[in-house]
Amino acid sequence: MEKIKGSAEILSSLQLTEDMQGLDDQSKALLRHKEVLANILKGVVREYEKYTKEEIMEFIESDSITSKEVSPGRTNSVITGEHTEFQTLNEKTSNFDICFRTKNPILSGDVMVNLHVDIEPQKEYRPGYPIEKRGIYYLARSISSQLSVALESTDYSDIEKCYSIWICRDNIPRREQYSISFYEMANTANIGSVSPKKEDYDLTSLVVIRLGDEECKSDNELLDFLNILFYPHRKDFMTRITKFIDFKDNDELRQEVSGMSGLGQSILEEGLERGLERGLEEGLERGLEKGLEEGLEKGDARRLTRSVEAAAAKLGSVEKACELLDITMEDYIRARERSSGEQ
């Protein structure tokens, strides 16, 4: 199974999401990371079948990526997206949860051709109407939004393909759980000698993904990934997500902790060189007392937070890191909150 190298930023987001119920603001925020988007696009976008997840991450356009710096040396991989609300006179406002552009490698040549992707995480599978009809409506709005006002001079050849991907979590009939349906525009019949070019009408693709109440038993890689992502409160969330996103051998994470003192430095540097267990023991001896007793009082909460998160990146979960470092979750949470207040 192909793994994506995880950035420091998504590691932090995953840790914040752990133990939550899913589909709250923190959980939805995970869908804005390229590491997550690449796993989704690889599983459902036909144009990406022959490309790796790392390549797909590169296809997501740079002008859809926020320029906000998280901390020095970190690669910011959060999607800010296109306009997520389209409104015209006397029409209903449509809000798109996550909407962004990504390269269409099949049609791109000297001129860049995009795919316009909308991802909609949904708690209810049947909220009083068919999800499929709402998805088709969203696709129509995505198409029309690419043109300003249709005039006689409007060049309709500029319209680019749109994907609307719906991920439904709750109240799904058991027989439909862990399934994916694809809906596309097709040329169903021709009379006479004619062969329409597919690229001229292949402009919409609706994907409906259904999760379920229990653990995923499907061998589909995307369903397995989403089952982990959308149920972060389940056991070993951080360990399980590393099946798809790898935080080992991450140069950015190494650089992130290179300036740490005491605890964090001994964990990462000595732990990597002499073995993680020895590094943890020496880290406790050198830095634990200062990190806990003095750090919070002297504004070192950020260092303590980074120390725990750096260890968690190697161990697979914040709980394991806190346990090995003899730090309570309460102290870690308190340090994290205080470090956030310092920014």
Beta strands in the chain (DSSP E): 4-5, 85-86, 94-95, 98-103, 114-124, 162-170, 179-184, 204-210, 245-246
Q: For residue 115, is pLDDT > 50?
A: yes
Comparing 13-17, 88-92, 247-251, the range with the smallest average pLDDT is: 88-92
Instruction: Enumerate the H helices of 2-69 as residue ranges.
Output: 8-17, 25-30, 34-44, 53-59
Q: How much of the chain, in percent, has pLDDT values that exceed 90?
A: 31
Q: How confident is the model at residue 280 (pLDDT cuts 50, 70, 90)?
A: low
Q: What is the pLDDT of residue 285?
A: 53
Banded model confidence at residue 34, pLDDT cuts 50, 70, 90: confident
In the predicted structure, residue 334 carries a pLDDT above the cut 60: yes
pTM of the model: 0.66
pLDDT at 295: 43
Q: What is the structure's pLDDT at 68?
A: 30
Q: Report percent pLDDT > 70 for the chain.
A: 63
Per-domain residue ranges of the chain: 4-246, 251-342
Mean pLDDT, the chain, whole residue set? 74
SS3 176: helix
**Which one has a higher pLDDT value, 18 or 267?**
18
- Contact (CB, 8 A) for 247 and 253: yes
pLDDT in tens, 61-105: 756 633 233 233 344 455 555 655 544 444 455 566 788 999 999
* Average pLDDT for 30-44: 90
Per residue in 126-150, pLDDT (tens digit) is 989 999 999 999 999 889 888 865 5
- Of the candidates 229, 233, 268, the one whose C-alpha atom is nearest the C-alpha of residue 245 is 229
pLDDT band for position 272 (50/70/90)? very low
Average pLDDT over residues 205-225: 90
Residue 69's pLDDT is what? Answer: 30
Q: Residue 268 — φ and ψ, nearest 5°?
A: -80, -50
Q: Output the pLDDT for position 274.
A: 42
Number of C-beta neighbours around residue 222 at 10 A: 18
Whether the CB-CB separation of 318 and 308 falls below 8 Å is answered with yes
